[in-house]
């Protein structure tokens, strides 16, 4: 019994020693990847070591990766990779920042205040759960069989089912409309575009996205870029059609 416990302790001690040796041979590297002007951090930049370890920069361009001391570090963006930097030559305890020779479209920083949209949607579903979960009685009793001739209860159930289905579709459409209004709100659009009323109000009407369009954007950046690009086009037309009079 004592030999078994001694063996277990020996194995645990050896594992701890090995882990310490492995950790001692690795270096934690952190920093920020900037675009050409070195003013704005770049999101989605691949940070990789020759050993296969990898990381991706966040929305502010920050990254952090642990690599062996004998490894090399490189950065790549949209298929273009930088030279490899030996880990042993990277200054320790200092951010290793990188500036890539690419231009990116810069959007203003947007802070979206969350309202009670989700709570409202849940409350709406709870209030109309009889509609969303409606199942006519004749479906549940279909296995009981029915005689020949006209079943008045069946006809009434079918009519009720159609009414409930139409009402359910209307409720779902109302939810989609509220979701679009939640995402495409005036405060957000004004922040991104800089438009002022009445131009802002016109833009909101003409370029209001559909629910399906909002679902197609993979990231908020793509959505904000949609607003920014179309506002540029809209602004040029607005200035042409509404010249400033002295």
Give a yes or no: residue 107 inside a domain.
Answer: no
76 and 157 assigned to the same domain: no
β-sheet with 62-68: strand ranges across: 62-68, 26-34, 98-99
Q: Are residues 27 and 86 in the same domain?
A: yes
Please indicate, yes or no, whether residues 87 and 44 belong to a single structural domain of this protein.
yes
Read off the pLDDT of each residue in 92-115 and give the average, rounded to a whole number. 66
Chain position carrying tokens 């079918």 = 158
Per-residue pLDDT reduced to its tens digit, 53-93: 888 888 788 999 999 888 999 998 877 888 999 999 988 77
Structural domains of the chain, count: 3
Residue 116 is assigned to a structural domain of this protein: no
Q: Lowest mean pLDDT: which of 12-16, 59-63, 93-97, 235-239?
A: 12-16
Is there a single domain that holds both residue 206 and residue 176?
A: no
Residues 71, 22, single domain; the answer is yes
82-96, 133-147, 197-211: the lowest-pLDDT one: 133-147
Does this model's pTM top 0.85? My answer is no
pLDDT at 22: 46
CATH code of the domain containing 17:
2.60.40
Residue 112 lies in a domain: no
> Strand 54-56 to strand 62-68: parallel, antiparallel, or no bridges (unpaired)?
unpaired
**137 φ/ψ angles, rounded to the nearest 5 degrees:** -65, -35
Phi, psi of 141 (to 5 degrees): -100, 10
Identify the domain containing residue 229 by its residue range.
Answer: 184-246
The verdict on 29 and 83 lying in the same domain is yes
Q: Are 92 and 20 in a shared domain?
A: yes
Q: Which residues contact residue 85 at a Cβ distance below 8 angstroms, ignoring those fewer than 6 apart?
A: 72, 73, 74, 96
Together in a domain, 159 and 232: no
Strands 98-99 and 26-34 come out as parallel
Average pLDDT over residues 112-129: 52
Terminal CA-CA length for the chain: 99
Do 53 and 82 lie in a common domain?
A: yes
Let me know if residue 33 belongs to a domain: yes
**Distance from chain centroid for Cα 136:** 39
């Amino acid at each position: 019994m004592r030999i078994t416990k001694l063996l277990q302790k020996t194995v645990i001690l050896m594992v701890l020693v090995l882990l310490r040796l492995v950790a001692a041979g690795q270096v934690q590297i952190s920093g920020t990847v900037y675009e050409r002007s070195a003013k704005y951090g770049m999101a989605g930049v691949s940070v990789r070591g020759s050993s296969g370890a990898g990381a991706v920069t966040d929305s502010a361009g920050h990254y952090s990766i642990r690599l062996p001391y004998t490894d090399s570090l490189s950065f790549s963006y949209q298929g273009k990779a930088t030279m490899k930097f030996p880990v042993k030559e990277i200054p320790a305890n200092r951010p290793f920042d990188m500036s890539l020779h690419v231009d990116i479209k810069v959007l203003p920083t947007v802070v979206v205040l969350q309202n009670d949209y989700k709570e409202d949607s849940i409350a709406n579903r709870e209030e109309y759960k009889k509609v969303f979960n409606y199942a006519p009685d004749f479906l549940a009793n279909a296995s009981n069989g029915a005689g020949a001739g006209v079943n008045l209860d069946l006809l009434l159930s079918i009519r009720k089912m159609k009414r409930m289905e139409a009402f359910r579709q209307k409720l779902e459409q109302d939810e989609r409309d509220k979701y679009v209004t939640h995402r495409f709100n005036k405060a957000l659009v004004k922040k991104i575009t800089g438009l002022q009323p009445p131009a802002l109000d016109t833009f909101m009407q003409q370029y209001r996205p559909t629910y399906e369009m909002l679902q197609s954007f993979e990231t908020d950046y793509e959505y904000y870029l949609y607003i920014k690009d179309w506002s540029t086009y809209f602004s040029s037309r607005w200035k042409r059609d509404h010249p400033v009079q002295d």
